[in-house]
Structure 1
């Protein structure tokens, strides 16, 4: 059903469901480019190990990582995996810094210009990747890519703009579907480049082709947003003071202020307390979840002898399960059922990690992985929908940015702690302790009285 459009001069703010699919398409293009690098990481690390100068950045990082590997007792052949994990944590930490800032700026200038700035930065990071004949340039590309990744929180804010309370769960489910499809198809594209490009003998520029392919997706995304994305935040609903937004920049990157949602103004005390509690539940959940998710590749290889191809198929079916559930169920969920679904999803993740931690055969492992996928399809979109209920129209970008930032901080820290635990006390203890830790987010959200209750 198309809702009325609001016009202000040349600006047209769209209030119909078609914008949801435009936002979804833009996010999907970005995620396809973003995820295709994941299976290429081992080959890229091997490339820089062989080709980076002796005094280059790669060997400096490798020496530091080697001390960490020895400290936690990880086998030598996992150095490249730990290296990739360290880069992933750096990328997530940069998202933690940039997401609330991008959201706050979009509350002042509108979603479209800030979104385009983010996409241009992402495209430039792929340009640097294409010419990254040294590891230092590759790291610079990842840094610029991480600092430009505010487009995800902006997409969530725009989805909130164009949805009503009744359709908001559907909009956030579309964001979840974009992630699921992106993490299914993108790695397959990357795996094809890894198989047919990275193994080419004597070709020291094999990575240029996947980098240019990622760049083509990023450019297509920019052109798509320019031509199809219409501003979703009407000028009359924007934050009025740029100076006030810039003055809040310190609170955007202050961890204590992030957890307090200090940058969100004019919230009643009860609403602020609810939002803070919701943010803490989300952070703890993703902190434990992301750490165990990261070590899952260690466990399947170590305990079950999974090859990279079998691991790829495992993640393919996980992503497909999430996409089907989010597209066929979560997207159609009524607002009053969102919290209940999030609570059920948080409950399901507990037996999921018990099953994975205790798995002595592949059937139990697959049961745990299936529950893992079902839980993921419910928790993140539903909790994001709950958070989107707070703040006025002029601060939805800030709320979504801070919420996204909390998730990015959790994903930056979780894999580090989980890796230390995995190699220090073993997979079974790590997963069982993690499952116990996940009781707290479930119980806390279950007891929490929220705006929609």
Structure 2
């Protein structure tokens, strides 16, 4: 990619199509294991749902802790050596790791596989920096919305396939995920262009920014970014309620197995595509990035409250279109943040933001899994399986308050 790419709409659209497909295949590979991983953990724990919930929390915490350390390194490497090699190494590592997890015959082996996944998962961080490389600031919210649509599409097809394969054998989705990740590697090797030309790269690999704490200090050096980063942290902490408890919650409260969970997650993905691909750009043009951010967070609060109250499956489904509008918030936040920094630090900023996501992931899985276990276990103070959703709604409410304070039009938000 040359530095004039932002002024060449045709080349820019082609580059975004490349990164869209790359992210889509990557998310598909993760999506197929969502309906089965908690059940595989449950098998290794002897079928005890409370124990399985706690172990799922441990898996999520460890995955996020590894990402907390590794994503700033990946961001700094992409600033120094380009986005393409980081994406390729990520895809190859994930493909080999899914093979390892498919062969795991114990809980410790499965946990080691998740650790390797945390190290290899770099495509989303680098994709965000890639978009900032090739897209003018005023068009970034829409472009980030398209990446959100790739996530949604991945979660439509992935959990459906994973639920169907998992109904046959809990190991089959891991083999399928391995094939997708390795296909993604081949796609990137032959098709994906570089977005950061040598003249726009960092002069050296900066070790002070290639660690989570140095990366967080980098955020503090950009005050407006730091305020918006708090929104990212709180929103992602709330988001971890899904991977932490949804599968076991749906089984406990509604009797849903892998196939039913796969269909529900597919529905979530369809709604995410509609919002990200069809509504983000229009809403930002109509309301501006700040108001779009606040609207999305408010819808997330309402949707989680519905989930918590739903005592039947059809009531839970009523919350899906409401919570889907939460997807308006993330592209707006990303667009606001990328306006504040130059191309030479976009990778490090995105790596720092992903460190915050990982920090949320260290706390979130244990927090939500233990809250769920507390309220469904034999010694529960009250039978309240919806408690994790209420907690997530509270966290999003806090994110809304922080967004109201820091996402100001005076800071070029509109």
Same fold (TM over 0.5): yes
Q: Please point out which of 26, 29, 44 is paired with 2:22.
A: 26
Q: Does residue 404 of structure 2 align to residue 446 of structure 1?
A: yes
In the TM superposition, residue 135 of structure 1 has moved relative to its aligned partner by: 4.3
* Runs (5+) with no aligned partner, structure 2: 376-380
- Which residue in 2 is equivalent to 1:329? 279
SS at match of 1:452: coil
The superposition leaves residues 170-214 of structure 1 with CA deviations (integer Å, 9 ceiling, x where unpaired) of 21112111111112211222222212234xxxxxxxx3x544432
Q: Deviations over 1:303-322 (max 9, x none)?
A: 44444433332222111111
Partner of 1:366: helix, strand, or coil?
Answer: helix
Is 2:93 the counterpart of 1:110?
no
User: In 2, distance between residues paired with 1:183 and 1:125?
Assistant: 20
CA contact (8 A) 1:85 1:415 kept: yes
Kept in 1, the 8 Å contact 2:219–2:352? The answer is no
For the residues of structure 2 that align with 1:141 and 1:295, how far apart are their CA atoms? 20
The equivalent of 2:302 in structure 1 is 351
Query: How far apart, CA to CA, are the structure 2 residues paired with 1:154 and 1:178?
Result: 15
Q: CA deviation at 1:391?
A: 1.6
Greater Cα offset, 96-105 or 424-433: 424-433
Per the alignment, residue 101 of structure 2 pairs with: 129
> 1:283-362 to 2 correspondence within 5 Å?
283-291=233-241, 294-332=244-282, 334=284, 337-362=288-313
2:42 is aligned with 1:83 = no
User: How many Å separate the matches in 2 of 1:45 and 1:299?
Assistant: 15
SS of corresponding position for 2:240:
helix
Tell me the alpha carbon deviations over residues 118-168 of structure 1, each in whole angstroms, 9 at most, x when there is no partner.
222222212323443454443332211210112210011101111111221
> Where does structure 1 lack aligned partners over 5 or more consecutive residues?
7-13, 50-61, 67-74, 199-206
* Equivalent residue runs for 1:27-66 within 5 Å: 27-45=23-41, 49=44
Shift of 1:394: 0.5
Query: How many Å separate the matches in 1 of 2:243 and 2:24?
Result: 22
CA distance in 1, matches of 2:24, 2:133: 19
- Higher mean Cα deviation, 78-87 or 157-166? 78-87
Give the superposition deviation at 1:264: 5.7
Q: Given that residues 142 and 281 in structure 2 are in contact (C-alpha distance below 8 angstroms), is that contact kept between their aligned partners in structure 1?
A: yes
Deviations along 1:235-294, one digit per CA (max 9) or x if unpaired, are 11111122xx12333xx222xx55xx32369x6xxxx11111111122112213323663
| In 2, Cα distance between equivalents of 1:430 and 1:129 | 28
Shift >6 Å, 4+ stretches: none
2:179 is paired with a residue of what secondary structure? helix
Instruction: Using structure 2 for the length normalisation, give the TM-score.
Output: 0.86
Per the normalisation by structure 1, the TM-score is 0.79
Q: Which moved more, 1:305-314 or 1:162-171?
A: 305-314
Contact 1:3 1:16 in 2 (8 A): no
Q: What residue number does 1:175 align with?
A: 147
Match of 2:225 in 1: 275
Is contact 2:61-2:361 (8 Å) kept? yes
Query: What is the CA–CA distance in structure 1 between the aligned matches of 2:392 and 2:85, rounded to whole Å?
Result: 41
Question: What number of residue pairs does the alignment pair up?
Answer: 398
Residue aligned with 1:262, SS: helix
Partner secondary structure for residue 138 of structure 2: coil
Check the 8 A contact 1:17/1:163 in 2, yes or no.
no
Aligned residue for 1:16, secondary structure, equals helix
Whose Rg is larger? 1
Distance 1:210 1:363 in 2: 27
* Contact residue 133 and residue 196 of structure 2 kept, 8 A: yes
Over 3 Å counting, the alpha-carbon distance change for 1:4 and 1:288 in structure 2 is closer
